[in-house]
Amino acid sequence: MSATGASERGPAPELELERPIDADWLALREPADTRARDAAAGTLLPALLARWEPALAPRVLDLGSGTGANLRWLAPRLPRPEAQHWLLLDHDQHLLDRGADLDRGLSTTPVRADVTELPGVLAASGPVDLVTAAALLDLLTLEELGAVVSAVVAAGTPALFSLTVDGGVTLDPPDPGDSRLGTAFDAHQRRGGRLGPRAGEVGAGLFRARGWRVVEAPTPWELSSGDEPALVEAWSQGWAGAAVEHDPDLGADADGWLARRREQASTGLGVVVGHVDLLALPPE
C-alpha cells in the first residue's frame, strides 16, 4: 500500500488500492506535504530525538514508500543522514523503481511487500531504529492497522506516521454542494472496512493501550488555487470523483460543483484538508 487516502488521490480512477497509484500525483502533492510536515516538525522531531538511540548507521523502515517523498523529507532531519540505511517497502514495483532513481547520499534497499507482511520483513531485515510512513494509515482496516502496531511494539522501535487524513475539509468560498458531496466522500473513505479519517485516533489508541507514549500534531494542507492551481484542480476532481464512485446518483451534482469550483479557482479558491501526524514511543 502506498501514499494517500481518497481525499488526495487525484481523479477517481486512482482511488482503489488495487489500481496503480499515479506517480505524477505523488509528485504534485509533495510540496503541500512538505509545508504541512514542516509546521509540525518542531513538536514531533524533538520528542523523537530525545528518545532515539540509533546505531552508528541508523536503519529506517519506510512503509508504503511510494516514490520516496517520506525519505526526502525525513532523512535530512535525522542524525547522520550520510550513514542512514532505508528499507523502502511498497507493494508497487513501479513506485519502488521511481524511488530507486532518487538523487541521495544514503543507501536504500527496496522491499516489495504489503504492510500486512511487516512482521516477516522485520524478522528478515534485522533490527531497525525507526518505522515510518506517510499518508498510509487511513488506507488500512482495523485489522491491518492492528497488525502494524503489534509489529512495531514487538520490535520496540519508535514509529512516526505522517499525513493521515482526519476528515476535515474546508473550502473558501463555501458551496451548497459541499455538504452532500462531503458526506458521500466520507463514506467512500470507509469503503471495504478502511478506517479513513478515524485512523489517526484509532492508531494512537492502540499504541496507548500497549503503554506507549503518543505525540500528535495537526498537519493540514492549506492550498490556494492562485499558488497551486494544478494541485487544487486534481484534489477537486478526486474529491468529487470519490463521492460519485460511492453514490453514482451524485454525478450531475458533482459536475455542477466542479464547474463552479473551476470558475472560482480563476479568482481564488482556498482548500484546507486536515491531517494528523503521530509519533509513538516505547515505554521508558
- Mean per-residue pLDDT for 87-105? 75
pLDDT tens readout for residues 113-156 = 988 899 999 989 888 999 999 999 999 999 999 999 999 999 99
> Is 244 part of any domain?
no
> Is 211 part of any domain?
yes
Nearest Cα to 86, choosing from 60, 120, 112? 60
> Is 259 part of any domain?
no
pLDDT tens readout for residues 182-202 = 999 999 999 999 999 999 999
Identify the residue whose cell numbers are 482496516.
141
12 vs 219 pLDDT, higher one? 219
- Mean per-residue pLDDT for 158-177? 95
Minimum mean pLDDT range among 10-14, 41-45, 254-258: 10-14
**Above 90 in pLDDT, residue 265?**
yes
Query: Is 131 within 8 Å of 236 (Cβ atoms)?
Result: no
> Is 240 part of any domain?
no
> Is 116 part of any domain?
yes
- Coil, strand or helix: which one is 141? strand
Query: 164: which strand partners?
Result: 276
What pLDDT shows up at residue 67?
A: 86
Extended strands (E) in the chain:
59-63, 85-90, 107-112, 130-134, 159-172, 213-218, 221-224, 270-281
**Above 60 in pLDDT, residue 276?**
yes
**Above 80 in pLDDT, residue 261?**
yes
- Mean per-residue pLDDT for 68-88? 92
> Is 129 part of any domain?
yes
Query: Is 270 within 8 Å of 261 (Cβ atoms)?
Result: no
> Is 255 part of any domain?
no
11 vs 283 pLDDT, higher one? 283
What pLDDT shows up at residue 3?
A: 33
- CATH, residue 22: 3.40.50.150
Say how many domains are in the chain: 1
- Which residues constitute the domain of residue 198? 6-169+194-221+275-281
Q: How many helices (H) and strands (E) does the chain have?
A: 9, 8
Sorting pLDDT into bands at 50, 70 and 90, what band is 99? low
**Above 70 in pLDDT, residue 231?**
yes
> Is 176 part of any domain?
no
pTM greater than 0.85: yes
Output phi, psi for 188, to 5 deg: -65, -40
